[in-house]
Structure 1
Amino acid sequence: MKIYESRQAPNPRRVRIFLAEKQIDMTYVQLDLAAGENLTPEMRKKNPTTKIPFLELDDGTFIGETVAICRYFEEIQPEPPLFGRTPLEKAQVEMWARRVEFHMMMPVGMCFQHTTGYFKDRMTPVPSWGEVCGDNAKQYLIELNDHLASNPYLVDNYFSIADINLFCAIDFAKVINIRIDKDESFPHLLRWYKNMKQRPSVSV
């Protein structure tokens, strides 16, 4: 098995942290996104969307999409469970994972792509849209801070993939100058973030 990724990108990091939490060893193949290595005919045959990361199984099967890859490993190695332990917890993990995806990770990504022009050779940046996305991400920090005022993790006292998603999104947001460690407006979110920084898995 091996995973195609780029060390600098946030989505592959989500998978690396997830696998580190489960203590699953993995072979990683690095792709240079700026050079377009993910766009070659060879890579498109493996992964038509061209997005990273994607997983290649030993039998030649390919699995794309970050959460789908994590779900695969959750099923083949259930312990420790990171998608929830009870029906309610599983629903709450899904809820928060999607909220973080839609209201933090994606807006940060769109702000980065549209305001920096990093991928202008393969997309048409709309700077004004990027700025709106960045503002939306900043606004969502308020909701996260309020929620974490009474919750150690996104789902009560249970660490899950939702926390991994948020941690990677918060770190990724530094590229658009959103830094919760430089803003005293989010003490509960910062407490959560410092807690996450103590986990050995986040250093992978």
Structure 2
Amino acid sequence: MHLYTYDSAPNPRRLGLFLAFKGIELPTTQIDMRANAHRDAEFLDVNPLGTLPALLTDEGVLLTEVIAICAYLEELYPTKPLMGSTPLERALVISWDHRIFVSIFEAFAEMLRNRSPAFENRALPGPLDVEQIPALEERGRKRFRGSLELFNQELGDKPFLCGDAITFADIDLLVGVETARWVKESIPEGCDKLTAWAERCRAALS
């Protein structure tokens, strides 16, 4: 296997925390996104989407979605499970993860990609040129804040999103919350349960 990634970017960081928690080490090539190396012809020959991370399996299959990479590696390295240990637990992790991606990561992308000059004509990830829509920045902020307030309510007295143990859903939400600092967002005031949850996640991952 070979991993192509850029550790500091949000999606690669999701996978990086997964790998670190489980103690998985993979041959890795860092693709400098700040230098637009993910859009160079050399990397596009590997992944025509130009997205990171990307995992080339021993079978020669390229996996380009974080959730798919984690599901695949969980099967190969089941110790310290992060994707759930029963059918219901796995369903809960995927359900939470999908909600987090849609409501947090997409909201973050709306805020960042529709305001930053660095993303001119690249408002969506991938190979297509897509123009920015400035009005989506404010919509993204509304989605982000509202979703975290709802997550705070739903967390209740649970230590983690899916119960007593940390899962990949917790990793994703933590990365989403911390990355949102790039657009001057964070856990809203009054979301004390979510704030305490974030501290538990950091402790569990350290």
Higher relative contact order (CA 8 A, sep 6+): 1
Aligned counterparts, 1:163-182, within 5 A: 163-180=170-187
| Aligned CA distance change for structure 1 residues 51 and 175 (closer, same or farther; 3 Å) | same
Shift of 1:2: 2.6
Residue 193 (structure 2) aligns with: 188
Distance 2:136 2:10 in 1: 21
Counterpart in the other structure of 1:65: 65
- Count of residues in Structure 1 that have an aligned counterpart in Structure 2: 199
Look up the match of 1:96: 96
- Partner residue in 2 for 1:131: 138
Q: Which runs of 5+ in 2 are unaligned?
A: 123-129
RMSD of the alignment, in Å? 1.6
Q: Deviations over 1:70-97 (max 9, x none)?
A: 1111111112221111121111111111
Structure 1 equivalent of residue 125 of structure 2: none
Q: Aligned residues: percent identity?
A: 31
Q: 1:190 to 1:161 in 2, by over 3 A?
A: same
- Between the aligned partners of 1:152 and 1:199, the Cα distance in structure 2 is 11
Structure 1 segments of 4 or more deviating over 3 A?
A: 57-61
Whether 1:141 aligns to 2:151 is no
What TM-score do the two structures reach when normalised by structure 2?
0.89
Aligned equivalents of 1:159, 1:51: Cα separation in 2: 27
3-state SS in 1 of match to 2:4? strand
Contact 1:134 / 1:176 at 8 angstroms: preserved in 2? no
Matches within 5 A, 1:70-81: 70-81=70-81
What amino acid sits opposite 2:197 in the alignment?
A: W
Residue identity in the other structure for 2:158: N
Structure 1, unaligned runs of 5 or more: none
User: What is the SS of the residue equivalent to 1:55?
Assistant: strand
Given that residues 111 and 129 in structure 1 are in contact (C-alpha distance below 8 angstroms), is that contact kept between their aligned partners in structure 2?
yes
